[in-house]
Structure 1
């Protein structure tokens, strides 16, 4: 089968199309013919080796984390799906790629595709949906009436997280560029800061939580907008010792991650705030709940651009520019 692979880590990962064997099923897996694959920023980060200590691939490895497609075959232990079912899933952190014609998906990671979405729309959801769900409902335990700041509201995570936060009853603040102000307002943002005109840390106050989505010093700046007792959940780092412990990493990595997060931990403690790093995990049951919100129209997919499979490298390059409004998706069929 055809797949987009990388052969090594580093500045020259040798990304390109290759003919690779069709994956074989384990008893608890589905073989899925992929119709569309949603792209995420980490798809560009993995070949650099940035996450090599915590994400394990057998090289050459297929790129991509999200998919929507049709089940071709099921393993002997599978009970929730059958051949012909339309499904969507994230296989992030499972050593599997989705920029390919086929993929194996653990039954526990898959959910039935929302009937009202096409494959491109469904493929845009899994990682941003699960990340938002696990951050807002799991880690932050966001309550009705609380105030949540989501920077970069027009990006893939932002467009979904704003809608989920509004569904949960929160007041949402966000930052975006001038051209995207109306988009994030339509999605439900209550306070919108145009970062070309104002700095969010000088405008916003009294927030209960921050979802960290931007690299650089945005996390440290967000400390000033939070009330005492507030929480910061970062999706982009710095990684912390708690993350290392949760993954059973060795002492050296625990120490290194502790050093990486020492400054933000110190600043947070001074303001009586809690900081943590979140790594999304595949979860078909959660994805099914997200699917219900999509089917009932409470959350809408936001897609910036769709590329054909043979232009998948260009799709990754486009995503890397960081200017997409919503998700970038590759269509296989």
Structure 2
């Protein structure tokens, strides 16, 4: 099969088309023909070798943590998926990624594609959807009436997280740049802070939950806006990292955790229900062909860190 991958870490120039063996289908596996693959910042960070201490890979390395496609084959122990089913997934990162013709995924990580979405829209969901779910629902237990601050509301995670929190009945505040304020309001944000001209830690008070995707001073200052017994979820940093406590966090008895997103087909199926009910809509701003130049352009856009919503690669073999 064809795939877009790399033989060494580096800049966009290391991306190349690679001929690889079609993945073997294990007893519990679903072989998915890739119709679309999502692009995430983690892809180019892995490509550049920035996460070598976190995730160990061998070469050739195929990137991609999001897939939507059609089931091409199943293992003997597979009980739910059938050949021809339209599915999506955030696969196990220990196996090669989704910038390829096919990807083999354990059935427990697979869910039926939302019926009201295209493959490109569906491929934008798994990683950001599960990251948001595991942060806001599984860890923070978001409830109706909670006040929730979501940082970087116009990005891939932020656009999903705003809608997810709103679907649970929360009051949502978010941070974004001046030009994107109306964009995040249209997604459902109740309070919008322009990070270029305003300090969220001075404007927001007594929030139940903060969802941080930026780290650094933003993470540290987020404790200031939390109410006593509030919760802070952050995705910034390596797996297993403990978020350092501060004097404020100890005084307020803040519960904090670093979230490293795990693949989960059941949680993805719950997200499917929210999407099919119209409570969450994907935000895809760029669809590019799944070939070398398309991937290079996608990474260029993602590396700018100014992309709205999600970037998706469309089957082009």
TM-score, normalising length from structure 2? 0.94
In structure 2, relative to structure 1, the CA distance for the partners of 1:125 and 1:12 (3 Å cut) is closer
Query: What residue is the counterpart of 2:306 in the other structure?
Result: 323
How does 1:137-216 map onto structure 2 within 5 Å?
Answer: 137-216=137-216
Q: Are the aligned partners of 2:125 and 2:282 in contact in 1 as well (CA < 8 Å)?
A: yes
Superposed CA deviations along residues 185-222 of structure 1, whole A, max 9, x for unmatched, are 11111110112221211211111111011143110111
Q: Aligned pair 1:308/2:289, yes or no? A: yes
In structure 2, relative to structure 1, the CA distance for the partners of 1:149 and 1:325 (3 Å cut) is same
Structure 2 distance, partners of 1:229, 1:107, is: 38
CA-atom RMSD in angstroms:
1.8
SS of the aligned residue for 1:192 comes to strand
Query: What residue is the counterpart of 2:269 in the other structure?
Result: 288
C-alpha deviation, 1:97, in angstroms: 0.1
Number of matched pairs = 314
How does 1:243-254 map onto structure 2 within 5 Å?
Answer: 244=240
Structure 2 distance, partners of 1:265, 1:60, is: 42
Which sits farther off after the overlay, 1-10 or 89-98?
1-10
Query: What residue is the counterpart of 1:249 in the other structure?
Result: none
Structure 1 distance, partners of 2:131, 2:78, is: 26
Structure 2 distance, partners of 1:96, 1:213, is: 25
C-alpha deviation, 1:10, in angstroms: 6.0
Structure 2 distance, partners of 1:174, 1:164, is: 13
Q: Aligned pair 1:278/2:259, yes or no? A: yes
Q: Are the aligned partners of 2:28 and 2:76 in contact in 1 as well (CA < 8 Å)?
A: yes
C-alpha deviation, 1:307, in angstroms: 0.8
Superposed CA deviations along residues 268-306 of structure 1, whole A, max 9, x for unmatched, are 224421221000011111111111111111110011111
Structure 2 distance, partners of 1:214, 1:318, is: 18
Q: Are the aligned partners of 1:56 and 1:95 in contact in 2 as well (CA < 8 Å)?
A: no
SS of the aligned residue for 2:32 comes to strand
Superposed CA deviations along residues 103-161 of structure 1, whole A, max 9, x for unmatched, are 11110111111111010000000011111111111111111111110011011000100
How does 1:1-333 map onto structure 2 within 5 Å?
Answer: 1-9=1-9, 14-237=14-237, 239=238, 244=240, 257=241, 261-262=243-244, 264=245, 268-310=249-291, 311-333=294-316
SS of the aligned residue for 2:216 comes to coil
C-alpha deviation, 1:12, in angstroms: 8.7
Structure 2 spans left out of the alignment, 5+ residues: none
Superposed CA deviations along residues 1-33 of structure 1, whole A, max 9, x for unmatched, are 221212234679933221111111111111111
Structure 1 distance, partners of 2:143, 2:104, is: 37
Structure 2 distance, partners of 1:152, 1:77, is: 42
Structure 2 distance, partners of 1:265, 1:92, is: 34
SS of the aligned residue for 1:217 comes to helix
